Structure formats: structure tokens, C-alpha cells
């Protein structure tokens, strides 16, 4: 079959109308059978047909571009989610435009306004860089958006989340089962709900086991450097295990301990949260709480597509993903009875 065919020629080759081919190209799921869909897609694949994006946008009134606003692009947590978002976006004919907020709500606000002015069809972002003013702005401009890990029940937006409280409890129960009683905790920024939920889980298990957390909690910032600084701040304190609220800080803790003559896990056990790709390849491999980041990204994009098709709905919708403890080599029983 010859290259460079027009949409009319593709329709003739498939034995369908131009309208049917157009609906398939524009991912409008009605008016054709699965058999017709496969036949048209095969012809498109053989001919290398590329729809005119400008013409497509004029017809559909869409830019076919999605904005993804992240906190810190150097943190593997966000690119792994981006891969999931893009897997669905590209399948549905959308491009992904990525912006970095740098942990600053003001910068995030500027990016939101830029994305809106650029004509994106929707936005995916995280609660960690959104102020109430930014959420109000998104609601005001009526642009479909999905918030990752907000765990909020306000009307007007869609949310992808995990149970941070239960995840923290699972980690703490695991450390207790290994014999640890002096467990230090490095939180994320406490203005973030995920940090507050995880801290509540930490404290609940400590309290249930009659353990004291006084002097055991340090606030971090979810960066590797933040983990190093938190470990330095805990120097001289009596602990046998560290629960870091994300893997980047856990890696920083391990680096600091190694550089100061402590072995992980022989001297100090370390647990993270997220299960980013490098967690399995550091030394020692990190025990952590697995978040299905790729699947969460896919879910966020699927939810955004749903929001884009349901513009009149102001109902809050949430999709919660399961967490799984991944046991590797960074935890052992304490050397001495704690």
C-alpha cells in the first residue's frame, strides 16, 4: 500500500466513510466496530499516515496537549509518573508539556497561568506545590485537572491517592517485628498532607507499643540532601532504625551513615517510601514501600480524560492505589536489644 495517502484514500481502502476514519483518528469511541477500528489502524500503520494536528485542533476545539506540573524533575518519583501519564496520552493522541515548580507555590502559580495561556486541554499536578490560591485559580478558569496524592474531599477536582497512614503503619509494624524499639523518623514538609498522614501512622504504632518518639522526629524536604542534613541533625541520638518518608531522603541517610563509619543495616536499619527505580540498585538495596508510580500516572491521565469529557461535573472523584512493602537488604535486627 502506497505511502502518503489522504484520509479519503484510507477510507476507500478500508471500505468505510471519511467520518468513520476521522472518529478513529480523533479517538472518538462511537460509530464503528472493533473490527473496523483494527482495519483502519492497520492501513494507517502501513501508509504512515499522520493527521494534520492544526486541522484536528480546529475541528475538535482542542490542543491535544496536557500540562504536567512537577515539584522536582531530578527526583525519579516524578519521571516515573510522567511515563505512565505519557503512555496513555500518546495512545490517545495527546502531547505532554512538563513544567517544574521547584517546591515553590508561587512558581507553580506562574506555570499554571502559562499552561492555561498556551491552551492545554487539562493539567495534572501534585498537592505538594499547590496552594489554596492555586486550586482556586484552577477552579476559576474551569480547566480540567487532576491532583496527585491530595487525599482531599473538596468538590471540584479529581484525585489520585494512596493510603499514606496505613503505609506508614505497615512500615512501623515491620520494624517492630524485627526487634526495633528506637525508631527515628524523617518526615517530608509538614504542610503536605502525605507527610502528616505518614507521621500519624508512625506515632500510632509507637504509641501502641508504648514507645517514646521525643527527639526522634526530624522534618526533611524529600531531597537526598535533606536526608543527609536530617541524619546529621540526629547525630548522637540513640536510635537503631530510620523511617524516611521517601526514598531520596533514605538514600541521603544511607550516604551519611556510610561516610561516618556506620553500616546499613548492621548498625542502623533504614526504610524508605516510594520504591523509585534506583532503590533496588543502591547499596544495600533499600527496603521501601512500593507506590505503583507508572500505574498512578496512567490512572491520572485516564481520570483527566474523563474530566475533559464531563465538564459539567463538579463532583469529587478519587482513585486510590494499593501500597506494597518491598523487603530488600537495608533492614536487620538491632545489634543490641533496644
More reliable by pLDDT, 69 or 242: 242
| pLDDT, greater one: 335 or 244 | 244
Helices 293-309, 77-91: inter-axial angle, 10-degree rounding = 50
State the pLDDT at residue 62: 67
Question: Given pLDDT bands bounded at 50, 70 and 90, which one contains residue 134?
Answer: confident
pLDDT band at 226 (very low <50, low <70, confident <90, very high): very high
> From the CB of residue 156, how many other CB atoms can be counted at a distance below 10 Å?
14
Give the tens place of pLDDT for each residue, 62-94: 678 999 998 888 889 999 999 999 999 998 889
pLDDT > 90 fraction of the chain, expressed in percent and rounded: 55
What CATH number was assigned to the domain covering residues 162-289? 3.40.50.2300
The mean pLDDT of 208-220, rounded to a whole number, is 97
pLDDT value, residue 54 = 44
The CATH T-level fold of domain 5-50 is 434 Repressor (Amino-terminal Domain) (1.10.260)
CA distance 192 to 180: 27
- Round to whole Å and give the CA distance between 303 and 160: 9
Extents of the domains making up the chain: 5-50, 62-160+291-321, 162-289
> Once rounded to an integer, what is the mean pLDDT over residues 286-306?
96
Q: Is the pLDDT of residue 166 over 80?
A: yes
> How far apart (Å, rounded) are the C-alpha atoms in residues 268 and 183?
10
Q: How confident is the model at residue 1 (pLDDT cuts 50, 70, 90)?
A: low
For 168, residues 6+ apart whose C-beta sits below 8 A from its C-beta are: 197, 198, 199, 200, 201, 202, 205, 243, 273
Identify which of 202, 181, 256 has the alpha carbon closest to the alpha carbon of residue 264: 256
Cell numbers 503505609 correspond to what residue? 167
Q: What's 62-160+291-321's CATH class?
A: alpha beta
Per cent of the chain over pLDDT 70 is 87
Domains 62-160+291-321 and 162-289 share a fold: yes
- Identify the weakest region by mean pLDDT among 1-10, 137-146, 264-273: 1-10
Q: How many Cα neighbours within 13 Å face the side chain of 35?
A: 2
Closest CA to 147 of 110, 183, 104, 112: 112
Mean pLDDT of the 161-179 span: 97
Which of helix, strand or coil describes residue 41?
helix
Is the separation of the CB atoms in 338 and 182 below 8 Å?
yes
Q: Rounded distance, CA 112 to CA 154, Å? A: 20
pLDDT in tens, 22-36: 777 766 666 788 888
pLDDT confidence tier of residue 155, bands split at 50, 70 and 90: very low
pLDDT of residue 84: 97
Amino acid at each position: 500500500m502506497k505511502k502518503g495517502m489522504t484520509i479519503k484514500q484510507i477510507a476507500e481502502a478500508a471500505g468505510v466513510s471519511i467520518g468513520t476514519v476521522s472518529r478513529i483518528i480523533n479517538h472518538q469511541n462511537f460509530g464503528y466496530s472493533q473490527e473496523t477500528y483494527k482495519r483502519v489502524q492497520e492501513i494507517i500503520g502501513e501508509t504512515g499516515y499522520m493527521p494534520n494536528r492544526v486541522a484536528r485542533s480546529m475541528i475538535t476545539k482542542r490542543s491535544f496537549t496536557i500540562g504536567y506540573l512537577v515539584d522536582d524533575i531530578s527526583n525519579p518519583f516524578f519521571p516515573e509518573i510522567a511515563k505512565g501519564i505519557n503512555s496513555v496520552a500518546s495512545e490517545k493522541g495527546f502531547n505532554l508539556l512538563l513544567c517544574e515548580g521547584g517546591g515553590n507555590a508561587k512558581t507553580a502559580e506562574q506555570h499554571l497561568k502559562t499552561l492555561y495561556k498556551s491552551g492545554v486541554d487539562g493539567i495534572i499536578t501534585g498537592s505538594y506545590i499547590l496552594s489554596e490560591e492555586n486550586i482556586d485559580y484552577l477552579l476559576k478558569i474551569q480547566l480540567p485537572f487532576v491532583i496527585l496524592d491530595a487525599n482531599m474531599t473538596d468538590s471540584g477536582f479529581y484525585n489520585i491517592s494512596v493510603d499514606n497512614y496505613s503505609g506508614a503503619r505497615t512500615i512501623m509494624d515491620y520494624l517492630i517485628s524485627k526487634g526495633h524499639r528506637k525508631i527515628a523518623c524523617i518526615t517530608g514538609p509538614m504542610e503536605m498532607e502525605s507527610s502528616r498522614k505518614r507521621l500519624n501512622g508512625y506515632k500510632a504504632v509507637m504509641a501502641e507499643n508504648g514507645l517514646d518518639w521525643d527527639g526522634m522526629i526530624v522534618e526533611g524536604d524529600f531531597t537526598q540532601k535533606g536526608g543527609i542534613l536530617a541524619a546529621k541533625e540526629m547525630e548522637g541520638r540513640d536510635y537503631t532504625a530510620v523511617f524516611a518518608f521517601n526514598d531520596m531522603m533514605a538514600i541521603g541517610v544511607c550516604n551519611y551513615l556510610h561516610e561516618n563509619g556506620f553500616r546499613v543495616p548492621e548498625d542502623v536499619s533504614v526504610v524508605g517510601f516510594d520504591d523509585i527505580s534506583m532503590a533496588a540498585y543502591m547499596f544495600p538495596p533499600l527496603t521501601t514501600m512500593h507506590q505503583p508510580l507508572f500505574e498512578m500516572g496512567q490512572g491520572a491521565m485516564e481520570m483527566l480524560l474523563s474530566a475533559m469529557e464531563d465538564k459539567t461535573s463538579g463532583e469529587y472523584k478519587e482513585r486510590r492505589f494499593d501500597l506494597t512493602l518491598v523487603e530488600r537488604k537495608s533492614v536487620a535486627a538491632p545489634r543490641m536489644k533496644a
